[in-house]
Chains A and B, each alone.
Chain A
Amino acid sequence: MPKRDYSLLGADARRAVETGLAAADWYHTEVARKDMKALMQRANSPAIRDTIVLFACMIAFAAIGIALWPSLWSVPFWLAYGVLYGSSMDSRWHECSHGTAFKTPWMNDALYNIASFCMVRNPVTWRWSHARHHTDTYIVGRDPEIAIMRPPVFFKLIANFFGLFDAWNGWSRMLLNASGKIEAQEATFIPASEQPKVIRVARIWVLIYAATLALALAMHSILPLMVIGLPRLYGAWHHVMTGLLQHGGLADNVIDHRLNSRTVYMNRVSRFIYWNMNYHVEHHMFPMVPYHALPRLHAMIKHDLPAPNRSIAQAFAEMWPALRRQLASEEYFLKRALPATAKPYREDLHAAALGTAAQ
């Protein structure tokens, strides 16, 4: 097998289009229209409650962190603030990009823009990128959001627990966009009519960072950067931890989300930070079901899905050895057993692309 080419402009991208792997019709568990309609219903109250809790905690932790600065006693408060900024905002960015968090559109858009800023993801670029991730989930050469490419680069994965590559990428893209340019691969999925918006947002962000930096210089202190910017690094670990589990070690180039996505049962705090995206197979199969309805959707369709991982630790124990095996063999992936009640994997949809399954 030739090496995978993850470029959106490369050989695998062309092959995916030619073979029909791109923009394919994916397997869905059957759900009655009446039930799906009920699951898709929007509500404001769960997201308003969660957003008030989130911002109240952020303000409180940052205020205590500032008050105790530069004592070591401030560290736990920065760590808590950082996780809410550098990780909770990832899931808020995600859910609001789907437009499903709130019923009221301006609320989705407002939180989406704040979260995009915190995560250093241009809200226009990433709306299109995430649409592609849902159309072509883990299709090599098509999906711009493949977190673990094969063979895995462990140094990069671990460095990203501190946001190093992701944030660097975000800030350098921001500067590129602010200079009036769009990266060539991104231009493949952002329509020309939307590209001026990418540039406008990047310029506003540069101004915000410039003001923060100026304040830090005037104060001779990194304190302003502890509030804006640096939490993207020191608080990233939780979203990377949960994000790697979404698809890590599973199949690529398949058209059945049960083969390439992972549902993991998590503790309440992680579910709050992650906004229920631990129900990841369910989310990919039915992306219009809001985060607060995912536990109900899970209960409804779990008979057709591989058994969820029981905890974050257990999921890592499953995924990590698989990633290590991919170092030796790019074709290796985990293929989890389905319960007797499930319809078989739709391997016929992508038979030509499948590698060697785990035993």
Chain B
Amino acid sequence: MSQWIDACATDDVEEEDVIRFDHGGKTFAIYRSPDGQWFCTDGLCSHEQVHLADGLVIDYMIECPKHNGQFDYRTGEAKRAPVCINLATYPAKAEGGRVLVQIG
């Protein structure tokens, strides 16, 4: 079982927003949902290599900033063309004011 990694402070991300997290040569996106839950996916859109953290979170959807491809960030499922390939997701949680993710 891989370790929990300290990614950022909970205060770094507003509700219904996303932040970029780079680790081990890879980039991830960490989401805080409107109801305060935490999620983590691959950081780059599966259509082209664009950082999803520059996109817009609407409810449980992340919209890619380039062509408005959309993913459900809870499951990584691709929801709107031009994205067709799902994102990988990773466990995430908040503890003591920090956001922890289980990647790798």
Contacts and interface: CB of A to CB of B under 8 A. Distances in A.
A127 B81 contact: yes
B81 A194 contact: yes
Contacts of A306: none
B14 to A, nearest CB: 8
B55 A288 contact: yes
A98 interface: yes
B17 to A, nearest CB: 7
Nearest to B79: A105
Contacts of B6: none
A128 B82 contact: yes
Contacts of A23: 48-49
A41 B16 CA distance: 12
A77 to B, nearest CB: 36
Most B-side CB within 10 Å, residue of A100, A131, A193, A287? A131
Contacts of A135: 48, 66-67
A79 interface: no
Given A23-B48, A128-B82, A193-B84, A40 B56 contact: yes
A36 B54 CA distance: 9
A191 B56 contact: no
Interface in A233-291: 286-288
A128 B55 CA distance: 19
A288 B48 contact: no
A40 B63 CA distance: 10
A134 interface: yes
A99 interface: yes
Contact of B68 (A100, A128, A191): A100
B85 to A, nearest CB: 10
Interface string A18-47: 000001000000000000110011100000
Given A23-B49, A37-B56, A131 B67 contact: yes
B58 interface: yes
B26 interface: no
Given A37-B17, A135-B48, A286 B80 contact: no
Contacts of A41: 56
A98 B48 contact: no
B62 to A, nearest CB: 11
Interface in B23-70: 47-49, 54-56, 58, 63, 65-68, 70
Contacts of B63: 40, 99, 288
Contacts of B54: 36
Contacts of B66: 131, 134-135, 287-288
Interface of B: 17, 47-49, 54-56, 58, 63, 65-68, 70, 80-82, 84
12 contacts: A23-B48, A23-B49, A40-B63, A98-B68, A99-B70, A131-B47, A135-B66, A135-B67, A287-B66, A287-B68, A288-B55, A288-B63
Given A40-B63, A42-B58, 10 more contacts: A36-B54, A40-B65, A98-B68, A99-B63, A127-B81, A128-B81, A131-B67, A287-B66, A288-B56, A288-B63
